[in-house]
Amino acid sequence: MSSLKKHLLYSIVIRLLLIAYGEVQDQISEVPYTDIDYRVVTDGARHIYNGRSPFNRHTYRYTPLLAIFLLPNIYLHRCFGKILFAAFDLVIAVIIKLIIVDEYHLLVSAQSNDDIKAKMEKKFSSSNGNGASKIKARLSFVSKKETATKWFSTSDRMKFERMGNFAAYVWLYNPLTMVIATRGNGDAITCALVLLSIYYLLKVQENAGNEKRNEKNVIMCGILHGLAIHFRLYPIFFSLAYYMYLSDIKNNIDGISSLFKCFLQPNRKQVLLIVSVLKMLIFTTGVFYLLYNYEFLYESIIYHFVRKDTRHNFSLYFYLQYLNSASLRVNIIEKLLTIMPQLVLIILISFHFCRTRQTIQFALLLISFIMVTYNTVITSQYFVWFLSLLPLTVNNFRNLTLRQVIAMPSLWFIGQGLWLLAAFFLEFKGINSFDFIWLASVIFFIINVVIVQILIENYDDSSVRLK
């Protein structure tokens, strides 16, 4: 049995035990284990089962697909959804390993081509013009299979196999992510779709010699990206990074003119990405609009742009929303001022970290981290958005000191703990602790900003290389 398969079995057992434990805690504890949103989605599934709209359930603000997936909760067992989300949690680990192992095959292919070309050019360096033409012709017919095996290194293959396993373990044994999934949060589905879209995006290689295969990969990336956006709106912020990665001039953007050229003269791959994403969004939105009318558009899309959340909210803007909660009007200026910092940072990161396979993975991690940190609403399940991308780049932080490795997660959990303690006194003990909750939100925000800074300073894309 392979190492990853063995750990997947261990992870299945752990998650099943957590689900069973949750059933017990729900019965005996003042603080329930099951996420309130799980009960909301289950109620939405019950409405669909009875031939009604899931939006008949107050606060149901998800895609109807999620309620459809949880229909077995009604006629089979109430824990079916938790098992389903835990299964997607395991799928994420498998996709993470696939992406990293793919890195090896691409590097082997690229290095092999470079080695063969250098040796042939050296061998025929004294050839005449006709000989040079023959060299070029010979190089163009070097098969992928030949180049991938001629210069094959077992130690390199094992290196990337270990890297893939380690990255998968980072996800499988993360206590926060496994608890969030087994509490009944469905973000594991969205994270799996995001990672699959990244998997196909990274398969699109320049000068790969097979444009049809490249185009199929772009279309698959677009379809999965569109479906991920349908499930959750946050992946839409990855779109610019995807688009820039597929640009032909991404390595030669040296001014405003070249930047405008990138947008005004998109290549075929970029057009295919846009079209496939739009087709998926139009299809899913159209189907559910026909079924549930404007209620679907408002509850699952529009609401998230005007949302105010004064409970369960780690956001820096929590106290501002609480003080303005009595007002029913949406302050457009306030919305713009709160979204601009993250929007500017996301655009800058998308332009700067879009050039290589390695750097775009880091860009997506930064985008999700910043998007959560600066958001006006932050709940615990939002952390899964960037934690699912962290294993893709975990091998690029070899320069981090042991002190930093220990300090970052420790401070991050301490920041959460301070907020949760203040929120517990408010919600379960009735003590007015709003000022302390706001102070904890400020501390948590600063901790996240410091972590982003440390990650950027210590990121090294050259740490994932063949020998």
- Enclosing H/E stretch for 409: helix 402-427
User: Is residue 271 over pLDDT 60?
Assistant: yes
- Those residues with Cβ within 8 angstroms of residue 55's Cβ, 6 or more apart along the chain or in another chain: 44, 292, 295, 296, 299
- Those residues with Cβ within 8 angstroms of residue 400's Cβ, 6 or more apart along the chain or in another chain: 454, 458
Indicate the angle between helix axes 36-49 and 80-123, nearest 10 degrees: 100
CA separation for the pair 450, 440 (Å, rounded)? 15
- Per-residue pLDDT, averaged over 301-306, amounts to 82
Look up tokens 């396979």; give the residue: 357
Q: How sure is the predictor about 15, in pLDDT bands with cuts at 50, 70 and 90?
A: very high
Look up tokens 């007002």; give the residue: 327
pLDDT for the residue 139: 45
DSSP string, 30-45: SS-SS-HHHHHHHHHH
Residue 202 buriedness (CB in 10 A; 0-12 / 13-18 / 19+): buried
Q: What percent of the chain has pLDDT over 90?
A: 52
For the chain, give every domain's residue range. 185-304, 307-466
* Apex 207 CA angle, 221 and 267, nearest 5: 55
Indicate the angle between helix axes 80-123 and 187-202, nearest 10 degrees: 10
DSSP code of residue 301: I
User: Is residue 19 over pLDDT 90?
Assistant: yes
Q: In angstroms, how far is CA 132 from the centroid of its own chain?
A: 47
CA separation for the pair 156, 467 (Å, rounded)? 7
Q: How sure is the predictor about 395, in pLDDT bands with cuts at 50, 70 and 90?
A: confident
Residue type, 205: Q
Q: How sure is the predictor about 276, in pLDDT bands with cuts at 50, 70 and 90?
A: very high
pLDDT for the residue 102: 84
User: Is residue 84 over pLDDT 90?
Assistant: yes
User: Is residue 49 over pLDDT 60?
Assistant: yes
* Apex 395 CA angle, 394 and 400, nearest 5: 80
- Per-residue pLDDT, averaged over 348-372, amounts to 90
Phi-psi sector, 207: left (phi>0), alpha (psi -120 to 50), beta: left
pLDDT for the residue 142: 42
User: Is residue 148 over pLDDT 50?
Assistant: no
The alpha carbon dihedral of 448, 454, 457, 460 has a sign of negative
Q: In angstroms, how far is CA 164 from the centroid of its own chain?
A: 17
Q: How sure is the predictor about 240, in pLDDT bands with cuts at 50, 70 and 90?
A: very high
Residue type, 276: S
Q: Give this prediction's pTM.
A: 0.87
DSSP code of residue 267: -
CA separation for the pair 415, 435 (Å, rounded)? 15
CA separation for the pair 87, 286 (Å, rounded)? 29
Of residues 326 and 129, the one with the higher pLDDT is 326
User: Is residue 206 over pLDDT 90?
Assistant: no
CA separation for the pair 374, 318 (Å, rounded)? 11
Burial 15-39 (b: 16+ CB within 10 A, else e): beebbeebeeeeeeeeeebbbebbe
Give the number of other Cβ atoms within 10 Å of residue 148's Cβ: 16
User: Is residue 307 over pLDDT 80?
Assistant: no
The alpha carbon dihedral of 420, 437, 187, 39 has a sign of positive
What are the percentages of helix, strand and coil residues in the chain, rounded to 5?
75, 0, 25
Residue 77 buriedness (CB in 10 A; 0-12 / 13-18 / 19+): exposed
CA separation for the pair 393, 356 (Å, rounded)? 13
The alpha carbon dihedral of 12, 14, 19, 20 has a sign of positive
Phi-psi sector, 237: left (phi>0), alpha (psi -120 to 50), beta: alpha
